[in-house]
Amino acid sequence: MIKLQPDESYASLLSTHQITQAYIQPFIGYIPNNRPPVGLDDYLKLYSMITENKTFKIISKQPTYDYLVPHVYLTPKGVNLLKIIQDIPINPFLTGKFSDVIIRPEIKLMVDLLYKHRLIDFPLGFYQQFEAVVDGFCQDLKVRSKTRDFMSLKNHWDSSFGNSRKAYNRFEEAVLYSNPMFQVHSLLVSAEFMNVDDFSMDQKTFSPVTVEDMLRATSSKIIEAVWANNAENHTLGILSKQETTIRGFRSIRLIFFVAREDTDFTPFAESQLYTDVEPFVFREGKTSVAWSDIACMNSGVEPLIYGIESNFYDTSQNYIGMRLTTLKYSLIGPEYWVRFKYTNTTFKVEKSSY
């Protein structure tokens, strides 16, 4: 299993929450960037804790003043297990609220087995029976995690993510080699869908056109228009990735890397890239093409902050390595945790000057 570093995990989950809008619940004040009390990384930590250790003791006892009356308390492992059990029934990624969203195989297997062993609603007052059922669950998880089908699915998931990471690394390395300064802008091509196979009819051929077809067609036109004028708009490359929200919107996000020769910043609306893309920007009903921020930064949509936009990168800046890591995992990281419809990642380098 590919394991992320803490900063990589944080950036990828922050982006996942903003993209999916999974934790937007106005009645308790959630906003897209909020980290939920129990994150998907907590699920993965519990999975590793169980499968990589020979024991999983969840309850411990200490002697008390009363003769033969044990003082029972949860161990740290027991606390981790209990918080996962309590989160599962309300976690939006696990309650079926997302249409055709696939979660990491390790997390899905563990949650399925927690349901199978009835641990979701097991009365904790019967701690001896609870401990015995947990032991059975742990053994079952260890056995099922080593089946050929599961290992094949897990390896395919990790391999696909690894390929996305390699593609991004090659692109980033080429950009940094020739351009010590650049900016990043983001465009979102969106449409609402009821399910992944929703379609309309082509007015000329009367053939079905899916939501995905419409998004790809619009995105392709924008990519070609921008790239045809990259000598003027200074675009170094264009990346794309698919996204979905819990509210039923499917999107293709386009990410533009634009070279800079100086730090004489001007409003984004005065840039050549903005001029090239603006003819495609529209909102009609629940279909739209709009400039959009990325979780880790202002993508040029908002006003300048202290004279420097947070989508500006300079290899001589302080903490540039950390900022580039955050950018990378904000873009490719969400598909480490969840994917839409496919077990393959959707990240793609559409165009590159190198």
Q: What is the pLDDT of residues 62-72, one digit of tens each?
A: 665 556 556 77
pTM for this predicted structure: 0.88
Among 2-16, 280-294, 303-317, name the most confident range: 2-16
Locus of tokens 């920007």:
281
pLDDT of amino acid 304:
58
pLDDT in tens, 83-124: 999 999 988 899 887 877 899 999 999 999 999 999 998 877
Residues 6+ away with beta carbon under 8 Å from 166? none
Ranges of each domain in the chain = 37-146, 181-352
C-alpha distances in Å from residue 289, one per residue of 134, 230, 239, 253: 49, 20, 16, 10
| Chain centroid, CA 148 distance in Å | 27
Q: What region does 175 belong to: left with phi over 0, alpha with psi -120 to 50, or beta?
A: alpha
pLDDT digits 0-9 by tens, 13-32: 999 988 988 887 654 445 55
Q: Is residue 336 over pLDDT 80? A: yes
φ, ψ of residue 140 in degrees (nearest 5): -65, -40
* pLDDT tens-place string over residues 138-177: 999 999 999 999 999 999 999 999 999 999 999 999 999 9
Q: Which carries the bigger pLDDT value, residue 160 or residue 130? A: 160
Percentage of residues of the chain with pLDDT beyond 70: 86
Q: Where are the beta strands (DSSP E) in the chain?
A: 59-62, 71-74, 101-103, 181-192, 199-201, 208-210, 235-244, 249-259, 282-284, 287-291, 312-314, 338-340, 348-352
CA–CA dist 111, 120 (Å, integer):
9
